Chain A
Amino acid sequence: MTEEIIIAGFGGQGVLSMGKIMAYSAVMQDMEVSWMPSYGPEMRGGTANVTVIISSERISSPIIRHFDTGIILNQQSLDKFENAIKPGGVLIYDGNGITRHPERKDISIYRVDAAEEAARMNSSKTFNMVVLGGFIKVRPIIKLENVIKGLKKSLPERYHSLIPMNEKALIRGEEIITVVHKA
């Protein structure tokens, strides 16, 4: 099993940390992972993306051009990565601020309005956890319990009090994700 994922959005949306938690969760399941961020000045306020590969085997190239799953969190990233998803793959996006919605017919498209949901929960910081909850619903390669374990491992101890709130956000993500189109 190998899942090649791109997560892309604005810097500050928690793109890199979502990838990190995903990677930690996979480590909890004894899988191989690679987490390859875009780095440098473009991250400051610009776009940020990270490639996460989760596999039951040794991972070859950590840098790839085509992905099984795209998690897309702004218009720029949608424009850039929609066509990078392999036929039959999955695109998950947040509709917030999207003016041109995904159009491909050969991939499955899901929408998770995480920004709206996080605002409703009064906790904009859990935005990326709502998205991640949506991801594990449609691509159940990592289990919720391992995401919680991954959170514990990746967060410094002083933030562990925030874990219940994040768990709530993950579960909300699982609940609110909707199918737009099924390939």
Chain B
Amino acid sequence: MERELRLMKGNEAIAEAAIRAGVDGYFGYPITPQSEILEYLMEANPAETTGMIVLQAESEIAAINMVYGGAGCGKKVMTSSSSPGISLKQEGISYIAGAELPCLIVNVVRGGPGLGTIQPAQSDYFQSVKGGGHGDYHLIVLAPASVQEMADFVELSFDLAFKYRNPVLILSDGAIGQMMEKVYLKPQKPRATEFPDWATTGKSASRERNIITSLDLDPEGQEEFNHKLQAKYAEISKNEVRFEEFQCEDAEYLFVAYGTSARVCQKSVQIAREQGITAGLLRPVTLFPFPSVRINELAGKIKGILSVEMSSGQMVEDVLLAVNGKVQVKHFGRMGGIVTTPEEVVEKLKSFFIGG
């Protein structure tokens, strides 16, 4: 399979990969630092080539509800935004989870709370992984750490979304969205011509009508549905944990970090080792499901874990749950749009665990 090499921003890579993955519709609203996704798609005008619909909605709220409508028809549809916009989408995301619709949501995270800043942050972990909207639900959350993964995770997201009838979130940040790297693009895939049997595509005489809803006024029914959802999440947790390890074999100290922070920590591992500290990095690729089992295994072999995230310490709660007291766990991260530097991380590791 021939792959095309390009130098692209993460945001552009997502947009191009969406066209090539045969996505049927993108619905978005401008917000920094991810507007290039909508801009790229409008410029590329895939309606003329693949037939993909690209629409600038009147709001984030309208955009996510367009995604609901399109997903309900069994189409591959997506939206993207950045933190404040993702907050606006949460009602719609909850409905999508409740109606069990497959779709892709991209969050190119910026610093918060409120209007915050437009610079990169990772302070939307709780919102992404623990729910975000109302009710007991989970998104499948993928955390790309390179422009290549921004592209690759589009198709992966739709595979997972349709496999489990569940919304998938790509949790990126302003750094990966704005950064350019080499990316190998897959060839164009045709858009799907067949749709799942649950989709609302017009009731043919041979089947019952299809209904897309998250409503069940009967609490017994609603509880039963919740059990079904939880069983699905358990299945996802069993099958879909993804992570990457760097120099963990002999590590005495472990960094746990995703996305941009994982890139930073890769460098920190190198710096630490130059100073005689055998550090390693575990990088969760899926944040839900979280690689708890592997972290727990590693916790038995090391002296300390530093969870690094550009936040006040959100993912560290999942690391603590995974470690379950086996070893000391600390958090470090800059906030408000400041990217942690590799040197700072090493200094923190030393001050927390080694002294001096």
Q: Which residues of A contact B (CB under 8 A)?
A: 20, 23-24, 27, 32-37, 39-41, 59-66, 153-154
B270 at the A interface (CB under 8 A): yes
Given that A60-B266, A61-B342, A62-B263 are contacting pairs, would A40 and B180 also be in contact in the complex, using a CB cutoff of 8 Å?
A: no
- CB neighbours of A40 from chain B (8 A): 32-33, 118-119
Which residue in B118, B182, B264 is a CB contact (below 8 Å) of A63?
B264
Report whether B339 and A63 are in contact in the complex, using a CB–CB cutoff of 8 Å: yes
- Chain A contacts for B267, CB-based, 8 A: 60-61, 64
Residues of B within 8 A of A66 (CB): 343
15 A-B pairs whose Cβ atoms sit less than 8 Å apart in the complex: A20-B180, A27-B5, A33-B7, A33-B182, A34-B179, A34-B181, A36-B180, A37-B178, A60-B263, A60-B266, A60-B270, A61-B267, A61-B268, A63-B341, A65-B343
Q: How far apart are the CA atoms of A41 and B174 in the complex, in Å?
A: 14
B: residues with CB less than 8 A from A are 5, 7, 32-33, 118-119, 174-175, 178-182, 260, 263-264, 266-268, 270, 339, 341-343
Q: Tell whether, in the assembled complex, residue A34 and residue B180 are in contact, meaning their CB atoms are under 8 Å apart.
A: yes
How many whole Å from B244's CB to the nearest CB in chain A? 12
Measured CA separation A27–B270 after assembly (Å): 24
Q: A60-B267, A66-B343 are in contact. List 8 more A-B contacts (CB 8 A).
A: A36-B178, A36-B180, A40-B33, A60-B342, A61-B341, A62-B175, A63-B264, A154-B7
Residues in B whose Cβ lies below 8 Å from that of A63: 175, 260, 263-264, 339, 341
Interface centre among B181, B341, B342 (most CB of A within 10 A): B181
Residues in A with CB closer than 8 Å to B342 are 60-61, 64
Query: With a CB–CB cut-off of 8 A, which chain B residues contact A35?
Result: 7, 179-181
Q: Which residues of B lie under 8 Å from residue A36 when comparing CB positions?
A: 175, 178-180
Chain A residues with CB under 8 Å of B179's CB are 34-37, 62
* Closest Cβ neighbor of A53 among chain B residues: B181
Residue of A32, A41, A63, A66 ringed by the most chain B CB atoms within 10 A = A63
For the complex of A and B, list the 8 residue pairs with the smallest distance between their C-beta atoms, beginning with the closest: A60-B266, A35-B180, A61-B267, A60-B267, A61-B264, A63-B339, A65-B341, A36-B179
Residues of A within 8 A of B118 (CB): 39-41
Residues of B within 8 Å of A23, CB to CB, are: 7, 180
CB distance from B116 to the nearest CB of A (A): 12
**Could you tell me the distance between the alpha carbons of A91 and B330 in the complex, rounded to whole angstroms?**
38
User: What separation, in Å, do the CA atoms of A35 and B264 have in the docked complex?
Assistant: 15
What is the CB-to-nearest-CB distance from A67 to chain B, in angstroms, rounded to a whole number?
A: 12
Complex alpha-carbon distance, A36 and B342, angstroms: 16
Question: Are B341 and A33 within 8 A (Cβ)?
Answer: no
Q: How far is the CA of A29 from the CA of B341 in the complex (A)?
A: 28
Q: How distant is the Cα of A24 from the Cα of B64 in the complex, in angstroms?
A: 36
B contact residues around A37 at 8 Å (CB): 178-179
Q: Which of A32, A34, A39, A154 lies in contact with B174, CB distance below 8 A?
A: A39
